[in-house]
């Protein structure tokens, strides 16, 4: 990784629906000269409007498993049966060569693996809802999952919440503006750019 302007890694992890995507998009927009988003690879089907190489690198399960065998991932996991996600070495290299610090949006196990691999060059942030009940209600209101899929997400949420203490920082996403301020504070402190703080 580049050791000049970029080369650090900031990980955001949360249960589905806790709001990490909103935080990540805000940070990427505000610090676009400093941060670059690491596009994950996945075996899930592409949704309407998604582009390969922009939202994800969409791979077949066979191709994904071949990448694992060839050690092309810095981390990967079978999040649900037959559904894989991973971070490619090539993506890390691409952003580092641009002098960017990487922002990863990955699961709890992947976050721990990257932290173990890169140590102090990583800031790991866990985004959590005010309560599990509020998150379940948010997921229901989205209406994007079947009952079976919703139950899987709830079970996954309970697993993920049990790992929050493994992270460097926790953001409780109750009031969005407060969560955005806290995300900025953490990133600016980690990268040494505190003077760029936004006033809401």
Q: How many domains does the chain have?
A: 1
d(CA 129, CA 83): 24
Query: What domain range is 31 assigned to?
Result: 9-189
Is 130 within 8 Å of 8 (Cβ atoms)? no
Poorest-confidence range of 56-65, 92-101, 178-187?
A: 92-101
CA distances from 28 to 22, 38, 102, 180, 196 (A): 10, 11, 10, 12, 14
Residue 158 resides in a domain = yes
The pLDDT confidence band at residue 167, using thresholds 50, 70 and 90, is: very high
Q: What is the pLDDT of residue 5?
A: 47
- Binned at pLDDT 50, 70 and 90, residue 4 comes out as very low
* Predicted local confidence at residue 152, as pLDDT: 85
Nearest Cα to Cα of residue 11 among 150, 169, 130, 182: 169
Neighbour-count burial of 72, counting CB atoms closer than 10 A to its CB (0-12 exposed, 13-18 middle, 19+ buried): middle
CA dist., res. 117 & res. 139, Å (int):
33
Mean pLDDT across the chain? 90
pLDDT of residue 151: 85
Residue 52 lies in a domain: yes
Q: Is residue 129 within 8 Å of residue 15, measured between CB atoms?
A: yes
pLDDT at 196: 47
Q: Specify if 22 maps to a domain.
A: yes
Asked whether residue 142 is assigned to any structural domain, the reply reads yes
Whether 54 contacts 82, CB under 8 Å: no
Helix (H, G, I), strand (E, B) or coil at 57: strand
- Is 3 domain-assigned? no
pLDDT at 180: 97
Residue 71 lies in a domain: yes
pLDDT beyond 80 at 50: yes
Which CATH number do you get for residue 172?
3.40.50.300
For the segment 24-39, the average pLDDT, to the nearest whole number, is 96
pLDDT at 187 over 60: yes
CA angle centred on 6, ends 12 and 35, rounded to 5°: 45
- For a pLDDT cut of 90, what percent of the chain falls above it? 70
Sign for the CA dihedral angle at 56, 59, 61, 62 comes to: negative
Per-residue pLDDT at 146 exceeds 90? no
For residue 6, what pLDDT band results from cuts at 50, 70 and 90?
low
Per-residue pLDDT reduced to its tens digit, 91-142: 999 998 999 999 999 989 999 999 999 999 999 999 998 888 888 887 788 7
75 located within any domain: yes
Structure tokens at 142: 């989205």
pLDDT at 194: 63
| pLDDT above 90 for 17 | no
Q: Which residues contact 95 (CB under 8 A, 6 or more apart)?
A: 6, 36, 38, 102
Within a domain: 195:
no
């Amino acid at each position: 990784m580049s050791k000049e302007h970029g080369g650090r890694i900031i990980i955001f992890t949360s249960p589905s629906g806790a709001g990490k995507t909103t935080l990540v998009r805000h940070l990427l927009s505000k610090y676009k000269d400093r941060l670059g988003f690491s596009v994950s690879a996945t075996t899930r089907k592409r949704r309407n409007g998604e582009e390969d190489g922009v939202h994800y690198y969409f791979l077949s399960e066979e191709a994904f498993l071949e990448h694992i065998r060839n050690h092309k991932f810095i981390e990967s996991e079978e999040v649900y049966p037959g559904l894989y996600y991973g971070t490619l070495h090539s993506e890390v290299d691409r952003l580092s060569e641009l002098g960017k610090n990487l922002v990863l949006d990955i699961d709890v196990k992947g976050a721990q693996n990257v932290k173990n691999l890169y140590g102090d060059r990583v800031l790991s942030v866990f985004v959590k809802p005010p309560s599990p009940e509020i998150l379940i209600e948010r997921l229901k209101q989205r209406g994007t999952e079947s009952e079976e899929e919703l139950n899987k997400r709830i079970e996954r949420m309970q697993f993920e919440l049990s790992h929050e203490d493994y992270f460097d920082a926790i953001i409780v996403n109750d009031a969005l503006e407060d969560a955005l301020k806290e995300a900025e504070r953490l990133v600016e402190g980690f990268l040494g750019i505190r003077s760029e703080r936004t006033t809401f």
